[in-house]
Structure 1
Amino acid sequence: MKIEQIYTGCLAQGAYYIASNGEAAIIDPLRDTKPYTDRLEKDGVKLKYIFETHFHADFVSGHLDLSKKTNAAIVYGPTADTGFEAIIAKDDQIFEIGNVKIKVLHTPGHTMESSCFLLIDENGKEVALFSGDTLFLGDVGRPDLAQKAANRTQEELAGMLYESLYNKIIKLSDDIIVYPAHGAGSACGKNMMKETVGTLGNQKKTNYALNQPNKEAFIKEVTKGLLPPPPYFGMNVSMNKKGYNSFDEIFKTGLKPLNINEFKEVLKQTGALILDTRNNTDFVKGFIPKAINIGLNGDFAPWVGALIADVQQPILLVTDMDKQEETVTRLSRVGFDHVLGYLSGGFEAWERSGEQSDMIQRITAEQFSCEFKIGKTAVIDVRKESEFAAEHIAEAYSKPLAYINDWIGTINPKEHFYLHCTGGYRSIVAASILKARGFDNFTEISGGFNAILKTSVPRTNFVCPSKTSI
């Protein structure tokens, strides 16, 4: 028997490959199927089943393309309603893969169809739990994402999650290995550990959700502090449930090279969004006017989903010379299938042609410390609320990047402000959006809060309630 976790850091997502005696199963695959078909070919095994723990919200699964390429059956837990052929398993149903078995445990709460898959080895021993979004390491799946579809409140779903965990999962053996669908950084939970594999026994000891005195306390703790889900989540659920275009087709269309004249014509005809995926240090020096920078070197796909939101948005790409394929692939993972092509030669070709370009005013933290004056300097901190609460520049405004589409309208374009995040990635994303919306009267701080910490700029963890806008 072979078990392999295939982890994708950008999405903090774990897919799983299981092989035994010439047969294989894959759990929660991503959109691009090559990593899985390569493993099947290398091991000389036939894919028998594709197990889906639930209808994913944070990424588009590869179940449809993988099934078409391998003829493997797609398996969902009880109550799932799909727009394609699939096995809707019964609770406790057993599936055989070579010499091992997988038992379906219906665990509603995160979603109604959510299920865990219990792996039983050739000796009949329960050895591993593929827990999907029901149980994470350090957390459990948020119960607010499926409210509309389930016609239930988040409290009702949290109550169902309690029953699933306490009546089914906790009763399993402590030595069972837990393989969750996500790790720290995913928006599908709020308190996940950085580890991606652990034991159920350790979770019984350390996971706050598994140590509540009663159902009421569980519901209160699990629903506390939930941030609004990214707006693209519902669209990804729909794609996973109803179906989508083949990744191969999306890949072919997105990798269409466009010269400058073609690029400008497509832009004019479609009103596409220009997405520049270069490193922020390169972007600030020059970019196509109104281009949005979301760098591949960070949490690219989740930020695209959170900020662009509409998966139907036409997109034109500006990338580094060898990053077109990676960009299209990572966009497809979160359902952004309408890439119309990329600028051949990248921004360098645009610049050489003499076309108009734009820049972002950036200064060092040391220069900022010289310019900063208490009571006179406006500073926008685009880090998360929790980061801001821990420590921030005195009198700074907390304006998280995730909500820029909500707060951008509160900014006074006539008043100069400084902009920063932790290291520069998020602040340049914000700066590019501000620029695209017509804001020019601001300065971004290179190195972000990490660099500011090394200066004499006054800091405090006090949040003034009167500072709601600038």
Structure 2
Amino acid sequence: GHTMESTTYLLRDEEGKDHAIFSGDTLFLGDVGRPDLAQKAADMTQEQLASTLFDSLREKIMPLDDEIIVYPAHGAGSACGKNMSKETVDTLGNQKKTNYALRPDMTREEFVAEVTEGLLPPPTYFPLNVKMNKEGYEDIDLVLKRGTQALSPDAFEVAANETGALVLDVRNEDDFAKGHIPRSIFIGLDGSFAPWVGALVGDTAQPILLVVPEGREEEAVTRLSRVGFDNTLGYLKGGFEAWRSASKEYDTVSPVAPERLAELMAKDGEMKVFDVRKESEYLSEHLLEAENAPLDYLNDYLSTFPKGEVFYMHCAGGYRSMIAASILKSRGIHNLVDISGGFKAIKEAGLPVSDYVCPSTL
């Protein structure tokens, strides 16, 4: 796996026949563990750890029967790998056919190069989670009891002001755009919720107040806790509608349809458009006029966003661009417009897009 202490367990049935492996962070579906996340083995490089993983896979796992079931520790959306499948279970034989890291003719050098290529920096919460695992953490029952306290709009506002809590809005991106508490951050439950919280919030001790769809309060607190964010202080009773009904101040995010964007571009060739997808997505294909400002590193691009004129943002489908919009608005940047439907809708509308660009030619 991505650490020297990572372990895979082999389960045998009552007759002693190999049945399944619980592969932890060693073998994922479509991928293998990142060798750059080790908190121990500080004297080993990621290349040395990848070489050790090569041996583990080829000497211990790949010789097992193809019929063996693989149960990995993580799936799509986890930062522990680069290319994980959305599936949760598979046979080892199918993984040998489809997983790039299990090619039978792969040399050690090729494996190390491919496994270490394109690794993004690990999320800032990873070392904090390791610390929690070593030192212990609060009982989940206490975390849930505190996090699922229903707060009236007045009590919610007081708590936010007195504790310095982050107001985290986990509704759908369209609902957030239509109305949200000023300076709240959007990260929707129906997307890659926990990984984005970990990547963008970072500090697991950060107090959090939730704006959450009715009936999903415990789900939100639980999913935050799974990645170490145990300091949820409660949620807004009655949701955003209760906030608006109490005549509290609220904010919105302006949208634009791709068809309307095309009309505006025809009139003004100097428009600023920012694509917040990953660099690899941007290089694969992007709107000709767009600049890349990946959500993962949004803070590094703050100085590039225009201060006065309106600018436009998009991602693949709308989830990440709404996260970006909420972060920018929380920092006082309000002159932004979200392109509805993201890059998918942009292509369908027939706006001009680029071909693949090789990074080495940039």
Mark yes or no: TM-score above 0.5. yes
Conservation of the 8 A alpha-carbon contact between 1:317 and 1:339: yes
Aligned residue in 1 for 2:235 = 342
Equivalent residue runs for 1:61-76 within 5 Å: none
The 2-side partners of 1:424 and 1:138 are apart by 26
Aligned residue in 2 for 1:328 = 221
The 2-side partners of 1:449 and 1:388 are apart by 10
Conservation of the 8 A alpha-carbon contact between 2:143 and 2:230: yes
TM-score (normalised: structure 1) = 0.72
Aligned residue in 2 for 1:32 = none
Q: 1:246 corresponds to which letter in structure 2?
A: D
Query: What displacement does 1:175 show?
Result: 2.5
The 2-side partners of 1:219 and 1:410 are apart by 36
The 1-side partners of 2:357 and 2:264 are apart by 22
Q: 1:157 corresponds to which letter in structure 2?
A: L
Q: Check if 1:459 corresponds to 2:334.
A: no
Q: Check if 1:390 corresponds to 2:288.
A: no
Query: What displacement does 1:442 show?
Result: 1.4
Aligned residue in 2 for 1:198 = 90
The 1-side partners of 2:239 and 2:320 are apart by 22
Q: CA RMSD in A?
A: 2.1
Q: Which residue of 249, 264, 288 maps to 1:371?
A: 264
Equivalent residue runs for 1:213-224 within 5 Å: 213-224=106-117
Query: What displacement does 1:190 show?
Result: 1.6
Matched residues, percent identical? 59
Q: Which residue of 42, 46, 49 maps to 1:157?
A: 49
Equivalent residue runs for 1:83-162 within 5 Å: 109-146=1-38, 150-162=42-54
Quick one: structure 1 residues 161 and 355, their matched pair in 2 at CA, closer, same or farther if it must change by over 3 Å?
A: same
Quick one: structure 1 residues 345 and 216, their matched pair in 2 at CA, closer, same or farther if it must change by over 3 Å?
A: same
CA deviations over 1:440-459 (Å, ceiling 9, x no partner): 11111111112212223211
Conservation of the 8 A alpha-carbon contact between 1:147 and 1:153: no
The 2-side partners of 1:390 and 1:218 are apart by 23
The 1-side partners of 2:186 and 2:342 are apart by 17
Quick one: structure 1 residues 346 and 138, their matched pair in 2 at CA, closer, same or farther if it must change by over 3 Å?
A: closer
Query: What displacement does 1:137 show?
Result: 2.4
Quick one: structure 1 residues 125 and 327, their matched pair in 2 at CA, closer, same or farther if it must change by over 3 Å?
A: same
Quick one: structure 1 residues 354 and 445, their matched pair in 2 at CA, closer, same or farther if it must change by over 3 Å?
A: same
Q: 1:282 corresponds to which letter in structure 2?
A: D
CA deviations over 1:108-141 (Å, ceiling 9, x no partner): x411111110011111111211111111222211
Q: Which residue of 121, 124, 144 maps to 1:251?
A: 144
Quick one: structure 1 residues 400 and 148, their matched pair in 2 at CA, closer, same or farther if it must change by over 3 Å?
A: farther
Q: How many corresponding residue pairs? A: 358
Conservation of the 8 A alpha-carbon contact between 1:112 and 1:150: no
Q: Check if 1:168 corresponds to 2:60.
A: yes
Conservation of the 8 A alpha-carbon contact between 1:383 and 1:401: yes
Equivalent residue runs for 1:198-277 within 5 Å: 198-211=90-103, 212-277=105-170
Aligned residue in 2 for 1:55 = none
Query: What displacement does 1:462 show?
Result: 5.6
Rg larger for: 1
Aligned residue in 2 for 1:425 = 319
Aligned residue in 2 for 1:93 = none
The 2-side partners of 1:213 and 1:341 are apart by 51
Conservation of the 8 A alpha-carbon contact between 1:422 and 1:449: yes
TM-score (normalised: structure 2) = 0.92
Query: What displacement does 1:463 show?
Result: 5.4
CA deviations over 1:339-397 (Å, ceiling 9, x no partner): 11112222212211222111111121221111124741111111222322222110211
The 1-side partners of 2:241 and 2:87 are apart by 40
The 2-side partners of 1:370 and 1:305 are apart by 38
Q: 1:112 corresponds to which letter in structure 2?
A: M
Aligned residue in 2 for 1:185 = 77
Conservation of the 8 A alpha-carbon contact between 2:276 and 2:321: yes
Unaligned ranges ≥5, structure 1: 1-108
Quick one: structure 1 residues 464 and 174, their matched pair in 2 at CA, closer, same or farther if it must change by over 3 Å?
A: closer
Query: What displacement does 1:331 show?
Result: 1.1
Unaligned ranges ≥5, structure 2: none
Q: Which residue of 281, 303, 307 maps to 1:413?
A: 307
Q: 2:319 corresponds to which letter in structure 1?
A: Y
Conservation of the 8 A alpha-carbon contact between 1:393 and 1:459: yes
Q: 1:146 corresponds to which letter in structure 2?
A: A
The 1-side partners of 2:292 and 2:357 are apart by 9
Q: 2:173 corresponds to which letter in structure 1?
A: N
More strand by share: 1
Q: 1:327 corresponds to which letter in structure 2?
A: A
Name segments (4+ residues, structure 1) moved above 4 Å.
462-465
More helix by share: 2
DSSP 3-state at the match of 2:80 = coil
DSSP 3-state at the match of 2:8 = strand
The 2-side partners of 1:426 and 1:325 are apart by 24
Quick one: structure 1 residues 121 and 295, their matched pair in 2 at CA, closer, same or farther if it must change by over 3 Å?
A: same
Aligned residue in 2 for 1:360 = 253
The 2-side partners of 1:247 and 1:463 are apart by 47
